[in-house]
Structures are given as structure tokens and as C-alpha cells.
Amino acid sequence: MSTEIINAIQHLNSILPLQAGLESLSNDDAALYCKILNSYVQTGGSLSRKDTATLVDNIDKSLANIEQQKLIVLDDSGEPIGAYPFTSGEREHKISINGIDAYCMCALDAIAVSPMFKLPVEINSRCRITGEPIHLLQQGERFTDGTLDAMFGIDWNAGSASACAADTLCTEMIFLANEDIAHNWQSESPDTREIFNLDSAQEFAAGFFAPLAEYCRQII
């Protein structure tokens, strides 16, 4: 793994320490997160509070604990509406897993799903700058077809450890149509914007997210 990828993973961990958060949870709360996460792969959406109420002794406390560790997003009524890397809301990053459609919070999240779950994934998104469609077929840790000249970009300036990443940094983790578009985008803020080709972005995504799925496989 290159120094660039290691630094990017460490930087993202400083803003969104998901692995540390998962490991800090009780076994029951960690298992609940994992079941919510797996629900997106199996159904395209989250388990509801009603679905999860029988899985733990105190559902309000458990969901609050998991949300505090930034692993899930709850709406105003306390319903789970996101579990990194997935969201229940429609975003520009749509994926298909064995015919099940789901949405991801950002471009990096979309790239992470296949290596996380070791399943073939189809990604449909768009270039944030030009609006051109981005279509990718992914098998584990490699892309097999699609818009293979697309790039991934992240504007680190949008990130804050005190804010919800789903509403801040995730909105600035994007696909870019090609290398020229990516370099032009980066040049507008070279101190805060970073770009990666698809292979590097996949390595970044897998390095950050795959440990969550591996941890889940060990406890449920």
C-alpha cells in the first residue's frame, strides 16, 4: 500500500473513526450495527426500530450508543436511515448487489461495498462537475468494466470530527469524469482537494471499510 493511500486512510480515520467506534461497542450493540449493515446488502434498506427492538435489551440506548460512535445515522424520530457506507435516502451513488438496489453516502462508499462483502457490485453515479454518467462493474478489489477512466476526488476541507460526515465530508467525496476534469477540480483548491484513479480509490475504500465487514463476520 502506497504512502498516499496510508495517509488518506489515516486522515479519514481522524475524521470518521468507524473501526475504533465499532470495537468500543458492547458485543450486543456491535452485533446490532452489523445486522443493520447487512440488511442493506440483503434488502437495500435498513432494519427499522421495530425490527431491531427484540435484538437488544434497550433499543433506544443501543441505537444511541451506535450513533454516538458515528456508525449509523438516525432521523428525528430515532429510525436508522444510514449505516456507513449505506444510506436509506436517494443519493447520486446507486449500487446493485445481486439484483438488490441500494444507495451509498458517497463515491468512496460505493467503491467500498464490493471489497467489504466480497460480492459483485454495479455502481451507477455521475461526475459531479459535468454530470456525465459513471457506470462501473466491480468484483471484489478490481473493476471489470465500465467508465474506467473516471477518477475519485475528496475535498478534505469539508470534513470535521464534530459534524455528521453524512452531511459534510460525504457530500464532497465524488466521482469525476476523467483525469483532465479531476486535475481541473483539484487545481481550484490544491491544498484541500485530493484525487485518485479508480485502482487507488478502491485500495483506499477497502483499507478503510473492509475491516468493518471483517469484524462483523467474526461476531455474527
Alpha carbons 25 and 23: distance in angstroms, whole number: 6
- What are the angstrom distances between the C-alpha of 44 and each of 67, 69, 100, 144, 212? 20, 23, 6, 23, 18
- 53: its cell numbers: 427492538
Alpha carbons 82 and 74: distance in angstroms, whole number: 7
Alpha carbons 103 and 94: distance in angstroms, whole number: 5
Alpha carbons 163 and 91: distance in angstroms, whole number: 19
Alpha carbons 204 and 213: distance in angstroms, whole number: 15
Alpha carbons 153 and 150: distance in angstroms, whole number: 10
Looking at the predicted structure, is the pLDDT value of residue 122 above 80?
A: yes
Phi, psi (rounded to 5 degrees) for 127: -70, 130
Alpha carbons 10 and 8: distance in angstroms, whole number: 5
Closest to 1 measured CA to CA, from 206, 214, 187: 206
Alpha carbons 127 and 145: distance in angstroms, whole number: 17
Alpha carbons 150 and 136: distance in angstroms, whole number: 9
Break the chain into its structural domains and give their ranges. 3-219
Phi, psi (rounded to 5 degrees) for 176: -130, 140
- For the ranges 52-56, 62-66, 113-117, 215-219, the lowest mean pLDDT is seen at 52-56
Q: Which CATH class is domain 3-219?
A: alpha beta
pLDDT band at 66 (very low <50, low <70, confident <90, very high): very high
Looking at the predicted structure, is the pLDDT value of residue 167 above 70?
A: no
Amino acid 161: pLDDT: 56
pLDDT digits (tens, 9 = 90+) for 91-112: 999 999 989 999 999 999 999 9
CB atoms within 10 A of CB 53: 15
CA 74, distance to chain mean position in Å, is: 16
* Mean pLDDT of the residues in the chain: 94
For residues 183-188, average pLDDT = 98
- 129: its cell numbers: 462537475
Alpha carbons 198 and 168: distance in angstroms, whole number: 22
pLDDT band at 58 (very low <50, low <70, confident <90, very high): very high
